[in-house]
Every structure is written in structure tokens, then in C-alpha cells.
A and B are shown apart, each in its own frame.
Chain A
Amino acid sequence: MKGKCYIQGMAAISPQHTFDGDLLSQPMAVTQGNMLSCVEPDYRAFIAPNSLRRMTRVLKMGLAASLKCLQDAAVAVPGAIVTGTGKGSLQDTERFIKEIRDFEERALNPTPFIQSTYNAVNGLIALQQKCTQYNNTFVHRGFSFEHALLDSMLLLSEGKPDVLAGAFDEITTEHFFIKGRIGHWKKETISSDTLYEHVSPGTISGEGAAFFLLTQEATAQSYAQLSGLQMLYKPSPEKLQHALGQFLTQHGVQPEDIDLVLSGANADSNHQHYYDVLNSYALGTQLPFKHLCGDYETAAAFALWLGASFLKQQQVPLQWFPMLKEQPRSLRNILIYNHFFGEQHSFMLLQKVDQTVSIKG
């Protein structure tokens, strides 16, 4: 793909303290139980009380994260708003469905119906920022965020100066129960910080919202360059291994150039073998991240936020990664590999913004 893609601003709401303060000084939030919930900020700083009263959780999370991301990049009206979500607003969907049952399909409230649509967050961002530009939401299960990212990169290569890209997903008690019935979650109840000690069928659930202001050109404030993105649907481990080698070659990177791999490994014994493919290359340190955010369709957005933070700060918050005993020797290239229950797989290549290229601002 011609053109470049830089992360100029970003914000995340997650089960960790990612929204406010300094990443390096925040303690790791640990959840006892298999359902990780977001640490939510005070939304009143971002959303008017009259609007806030109507919004459910994921809408508030998505809107607040997007607004903080725009603030971070000092951009008021982005050239496009592109998001991905696996489930949209579950709370609204559940409320609307329950009301259909309780009121026998009559006297239904409009609000949960309106907000249960997947593009509700995009609409709220556009209304709040008075943005009449391109606006799209991708709902493609484990590829939702990746497709939003791909669309954003295409828009940049077509000449859009900047694009607001993001992802949001929530978990509810009811949905946790439903997905538990098809074996998504571990049967044993664990503490999130001991996730990788419990390799067994299923994983832990999570949620989060992360937004990125992507631009064609770097500035001194840029977090990182998103140099590559690739998606693979239900690959065999052999095909995955071959594709990873090709992906690195295509982007002019040797396996040994990768300083850090953020892997979506989640202690799910049903799909662990895919992550073992990473071991067939001489890559740098592998760090799993699902103990921090749990698993959900758009968890790769959290990984992208983490990777870009590491590159900007040139440090890894060691308190979040007890498996890492010391800081990596250098942090220039980060590979993110994630998959969603063995079906949707993705690679992302994040690179430190090269100080030798011309930087604006």
C-alpha cells in the first residue's frame, strides 16, 4: 500500500488504568473471576449531562475515548471516522429484546433500539464534533477493528489528511453466560494475573475502547508508524508460519529485527498451537497481553495502543508484565499477532518513528 500511516493521537479505556495518568506508574489492575470490566473515567469531563443520561456504557466508553484521542492529537474534526465493533452496544440490544418480550412487541422505547445499532458511537462522535466526513463502522467479528484499520489506511493513501480509527466492545453478564455455553470461557475461576498458568479450554472475557488519530505525515508528537497489517481467515499453522515470514519480508524486516512481539496468547488450549508458530522465528521477546484486557473481538486495538505507547515512551511498564524481568534492549519494531478463537488472525507491524525522516511540527 502506498503512503504512510502514523499514530498521531490515541486514547484507550480498558480493564487497566489506561485513560488517565502515566502508563509507567499505573499499577496492574487484577480481576478475580473470568470477566474483566473496564476502569471507567468520569465521563462528565467529555459528555454533556443531558446526553450522558441516555447513553449506555459502551457508548460512553467509545465517545469519551474518541474525544480524548482527538484532544491528544489536537484535531477537532477528523477527515473520516472509521470504527470496528464485534457486538456494538450489548446493553441496549439486551434491553430492547427484553422489552419486546415484556411488552409483547408494543410500546417499545426508541432509545435502546437507536443505540443498539452498531454505528451509534460513530454517529455520536460525528454529532459532537460536527463532522460530516466519511463515516463507517465495520462489524466483522474478530476482524472488525482490522477492517476499520485497513479502510483508514486506504483513506490515507487516497489523500485524506487524517482519519479517526477505533474500536469498542463490551461484555455483559448475560452475554458472558451465553458465550460460556459455547466454551469461550474457562470452567475454572481464575485471577487475571495467573491466566497463563491455567492452560485449559477457554479463556477470560474482556472489553475495551481504543481510538487512534492516524495521519499521513509524522510529527515530533507521533507515537509510532503503523507499517503493516495483514489478515488471515482460518489459516492452518503451516500457512500462518509461511504468511508471517512473507509479511516480515514484504516490510523489509528480518525476524531478528523484531524487538518485541505482543501476542494475543490467552491460555486457551484449543487454539494455543497458533501462537506456538511465533517460536519458529528468531523474534524478540514475546509478551502476551490478554491478562490485561481479556479476550474480545477487538482486543487487537488494545494491543495497538500498548505497542504504540511502548514505542513512544521507549519503555515497557514492567509492573504490567511480571514475566518480563528487564526492559528490552531496544524498541524499534513491534509485531502484534492476535487471533479470535482460531478464526480471524492478524499481524500488525509497528515501528518507532524514524527521527531521520522529515518530521513536521
Chain B
Amino acid sequence: MEELKQKLKVQIIEALNLQDTRPEDIDDNAPLFGDGLGLDSIDSLELMVLLERYYQIKVEDPREGRKILQSVQSMAEFIQSKQPA
């Protein structure tokens, strides 16, 4: 799980071009939108694309997306739940 979260942080920084942010600056549980990283609705679409590209997971329901993209922790948990045991 730790390895996955670390990888996710690197992928988020790259996908969203967060120039002055390092992986260690992102708290696992901090909200990605609003107060945390300050991401917006276009970023949420970019994160959906990230899940599809790197983890072959397609999020169809926007309400589900809101829960999944809450934090790095929630994204990692979701990815892990979708991976074959």
C-alpha cells in the first residue's frame, strides 16, 4: 500500500504539472480538492484519466468519483480493491 501511494503521488504531480510540489509534500489523507492541493474540476477529469491509463480502472459514476478522489489514501484503497487478489 505504501509503495502504491508513493507511486500515485508521483503520477499526480506529473499528470497535473504541480511544479513546486514534491511527493513528500502530499499528505496521504489531505483533501486533493479545495483546501488541500487546491485542485479543480478539470483536475478531477485528469485524475480519472490517470486511473484509466495506469490502472485500467474506468470510473463511470461521478458520485463514486467524488469519493474515490478525496485523497491519495482513498485513491490507493480504491485501486487496491479493484486489483485481483
> Which of B4-12, B14-22, B23-31, B67-75 binds A?
B14-22
Contact of B42 among A103, A106, A110 (CB under 8 A): A110
Contact of A53 among B18, B45, B49 (CB under 8 A): B18
B42 engages A111 (CB within 8 Å)? yes
What is the interface residue range for chain A against chain B?
10 to 19
Chain B: residues with Cβ within 8 Å of the partner, total of 14
Shortest B18–chain A CB gap in Å is 6
B49 engages A54 (CB within 8 Å)? no
Contact of B17 among A54, A106, A114 (CB under 8 A): A54
In the bound complex, CA of A103 to CA of B16 (Å) = 18
Shortest A112–chain B CB gap in Å is 10
Please give, as numbers and ranges, the residues of chain A lying within 8 Å of B16 by CB-CB distance: 53-54
Shortest A109–chain B CB gap in Å is 5
Contact of A108 among B15, B20, B49 (CB under 8 A): B49
B20 engages A49 (CB within 8 Å)? yes
Please give, as numbers and ranges, the residues of chain A lying within 8 Å of B42 by CB-CB distance: 54, 110-111, 114
1/0 contact string of B50-83 vs chain A (CB within 8 Å)? 0011000000000000000000000000000000
B84 at the interface (CB under 8 A from A): no
Smallest CB gap from B43: residue in A: A54
Given contact pairs A53-B18, A53-B19, A106 touches B52 in the complex (Cβ within 8 A): yes
Please give, as numbers and ranges, the residues of chain B lying within 8 Å of A107 by CB-CB distance: 49, 52-53
A355 at the interface (CB under 8 A from B): no
Smallest CB gap from A109: residue in B: B49
